Amino acid sequence: MDGFHYYDLFATKGIEYILTIVFFLLLIPFWKILNGKVPVAAKARSTVGARLYDILKIPQGIFYNPNHTWAFLEKSGKARVGLDEFLLHIAGPLEVKNLTTAGQKIQKGDILAELHHDGKQLKVYSPLSGKVLGQNTTVDNQPASTKIDPYEKGWLVEMQPSRWKEEMQSFFLAEQATQWVKTEMERLKDFIATTTEKYSPSPSLVTLQDGGEIQGNILTELPKEAWEDFQQNFLDSE
């Protein structure tokens, strides 16, 4: 018949177009199903911690203890002790309860303070042995100062260390401190992922900022049991 032409679809590229369309039609629902079943832990690992290092201050003259306290030795021989910014960044608004008194002699590992938030608490242990010379009352009256400037205005106690040289062997300084913080961030990623999956089936438990950055105050979203786990994994270490 004039004007009529028969095309064999399978002899042209038309079949390739059809197969491509079918592939994407099948891929879309499969992707939705797969994405909906990704474990909470995997989602948390993929989004936590990418930029926390850029936020934290890591003064190179500060000695950092593995239990997330720090110490700084002044020229007078006195030492100031406080909480590091890693802990304060993720712990949220805290009520600081200093458990020492001036003149008290304490040993490394003795309880220095308690941090409270909405019925949950963390214990802070002294990184040094020595005599307590005084407490920072600004922290007691305005706990936010520990977070605003933890290494200047946010120190907890002033001490006369009795075993400084010996006990400094367990601290991190300068580049070693920087690498340690990076390692702690990786541990935190795993902790958040595992804890989220352990205590809540809902991924809404952990809120993260765009770009994969750990949201400030992230511990406030976790239950009391998670705080106990954090205590054991991050603050009880020597």
Alpha-carbon span 158 to 155, nearest angstrom: 8
Alpha-carbon span 87 to 90, nearest angstrom: 6
- Which residue type does 101 have? T
With helix as H, strand as E and coil as C, how does 113-174 read? Answer: EEEEECCEEEEEECCCCEEEEEECHHHHHCCCHHHHCCCCCCCCEEEEECCHHHHHHHCECC
Alpha-carbon span 8 to 31, nearest angstrom: 34
Q: Domains of the chain: which residue ranges?
A: 67-169
Tokens of 111: 């309880």
- pLDDT of the residue at 2: 53
Residue 214, Cα to own-chain centre: how many angstroms?
7
Is there a contact between 212 and 47 (Cβ–Cβ < 8 Å)?
yes
Whole-Å CA distances, 139 to 63, 94, 130, 145, 217 = 20, 10, 21, 6, 18
Q: What is the pLDDT tens value at each position of the chain, 238 positions in all?
A: 555 444 454 455 555 555 555 455 554 544 443 454 444 444 444 444 445 555 677 888 899 999 999 999 999 999 999 999 999 989 888 889 999 999 999 999 999 999 999 999 999 999 999 999 999 988 876 777 677 789 988 999 999 999 999 999 999 999 999 999 999 999 998 998 888 888 865 554 454 444 445 667 888 889 999 999 999 999 997 6
Alpha-carbon span 41 to 48, nearest angstrom: 11
- pLDDT of the residue at 13: 53
* Angle subtended by helix axes 175-199 and 40-47, to nearest 10: 150
Give pLDDT tens digits for 89-105.
Answer: 898 888 899 999 999 99
- pLDDT of the residue at 21: 56
CATH fold for the domain made of 67-169 = OB fold (Dihydrolipoamide Acetyltransferase, E2P) (2.40.50)
- pLDDT of the residue at 49: 45
- pLDDT of the residue at 40: 42
